[in-house]
Amino acid sequence: MARHQFVGCIMECRHSGHVLPPRFFGHVPVVYFEPPRGPEWRGALRVACDNVAIAYVAFKELSRVNPPSFAVVPHPLRASKWSDERVVAFVKRCRSAGKTCVVFPGRRYADWDESLKNEAVRAGELAEWVAALPRHCAIFAVNDHAAEEVARALAETHRIPPYDATLLGADAVDDKNGDLGPGMISSVRLDFEHSGYLAAKLLAGNSQFRESPGAGHTPSFGPLLLERRKSTAGRGRREPRILEAIETIRREACDGLTVADLAARFSGSRRLFEIRFKEAAGHSALDEILNVRMERVLTLLARPDFPIGAIADFCGFGCADDLRKRFRDRFRVSMRTWRSEHCR
């Protein structure tokens, strides 16, 4: 630090055992993403993740499949404050809606080394736990790592999403899902780019963001969009053809796919196809196509360097005017306003 004369530092606190407190940085200001609990970090500049908002989005998404019950799986590390916040908020939201929700009670570990040593133990506990869940239960895993653990446990008990359970993760860091195959696990994508802007503003000394004694204000970021994949197509589980149609939409919606194109690939009339799709999915095939397209629109809008005028062509809309109207109807703001609010 003395050699490079840094203006400031931003520290990711994913592994709490490796987080340096402010005193190590001397006169150089440092911003933390979710620092550990403890007196050494009291009063430090920080950017928080709105874990309550993430849990509420997860509940809303899982509720779409009208499940008989809900479940939530925490992160395997005990010191994961963000995990605890997501679990508590999700359970609270379930109860406020009059739904039952169970929390995976398996052991959690002090650090990653301990977790890796006991990986087989946790996997066994998780498999036993999911085997006892009601059929078609909706499961929220607090991040994609936990979601992959749950998916493996479901596979061991011959419960494969979305046919026998609905599974949703969070963070959407990538779409590979480990060895589970691309595009399987749905996830809540967070607005990580916005978190970087917030941290930069703190370092820049912007008075409206800098914490002051007793102010209690910490800038926060939350969900950006939902990455819908196969694991949440739960309401179509009794209609394999509808599941196949949903997968087709998620692959081809942004290539100009229409309901007529989709219906033509299945036996029977278009009217019958639309009726069965709505019965299985809880919404129309056109709604599903538009949802996938809008997810892509938000992804491109979150890239400040991507021209707004070109987005319609990349997302399957017939013209820019059609996209602008649909976007304003759904989000109550223009695309330009949305970008300015989310990419500050």
Kindly state the average pLDDT of the residues 199-221: 65
25 and 75 share one domain: no
Contact call for residues 168 and 139 (beta carbons, < 8 A): yes
Together in a domain, 247 and 321: yes
142 belongs to a structural domain: yes
Of 125-129, 157-161, 212-216, 258-262, the least confident? 212-216
Residue 2 maps to a domain: no
Q: How many domains does the chain have?
A: 3
Q: Is the pLDDT of residue 176 over 60?
A: no
Contact 136, 67 (CB under 8 A): yes
Dump pLDDT digits (tens) for 52-111. 999 999 999 898 878 889 999 999 888 788 899 999 999 999 999 999 999 999 888 877
User: Higher model confidence: residue 234 or residue 233?
Assistant: 233
Domain assignment of residue 209, yes or no: yes
CB burial class (10 A; 0-12, 13-18, 19+) of residue 179?
Answer: exposed
Q: Among residues 211, 235, 259, which one ends one of the domains? A: 235
Residue 153 in any domain: the answer is yes
198 occurs within a structural domain: yes
Asked if the structure places residue 184 within a domain, the reply is yes
The residue from 207, 235, 263 where one domain ends is 235
Whether 44 and 61 map to the same domain: the answer is no
User: Are 176 and 208 in a shared domain?
Assistant: no
In percent, the amount of the chain with pLDDT more than 90 equals: 28
Q: What is the mean pLDDT of residues 306-311?
A: 90
| CA–CA gap between residue 321 and residue 337 (Å, rounded) | 16
CA distance 295 to 70: 25
Same domain for 261 and 132, yes or no, is no
What is the amino acid identity at position 15? Answer: H
Residues written for the chain:
344
Q: Give residue 22's pLDDT.
A: 87
In a domain, 1, yes or no: no
Q: What is the DSSP string of 241-280?
A: HHHHHHHHHHHHGGGT--HHHHHHTSSS-HHHHHHHHHHH
The range of the structural domain enclosing residue 66 comes to 51-189+226-235
pLDDT tier, 153 (very low <50, low <70, confident <90, very high otherwise): very high
**Same domain for 311 and 249:** yes
Q: Within this chain, do residues 110 and 207 fall inside the same structural domain, yes or no?
A: no
Domain match, 204 and 267 both: no
Give the residue-averaged pLDDT of 331-339: 88
Residues 34 and 70 in one domain: no
Domain boundary, last residue among 235, 256, 290: 235
Would you put residue 340 in left (φ > 0), alpha (ψ -120 to 50) or beta?
A: alpha
- Verify that 14 and 130 share a domain, yes or no: no
| Claim to verify: residue 18 and residue 83 sit in the same structural domain | no
Q: Are strands 166-171 and 101-103 parallel, antiparallel or unpaired?
A: unpaired
CATH of residue 309's domain is 1.10.10.60
The CATH number linked to 175 is 3.40.50.2300
Q: Which residues pair with 188 in a beta bridge?
A: 170, 226
Contact, 21 vs 40, CB < 8 A?
Answer: yes
Residues 211 and 248 in one domain: no
d(CA 166, CA 162): 5
Domain-located, residue 4: no
Residue 167 tokens read as 């599974």
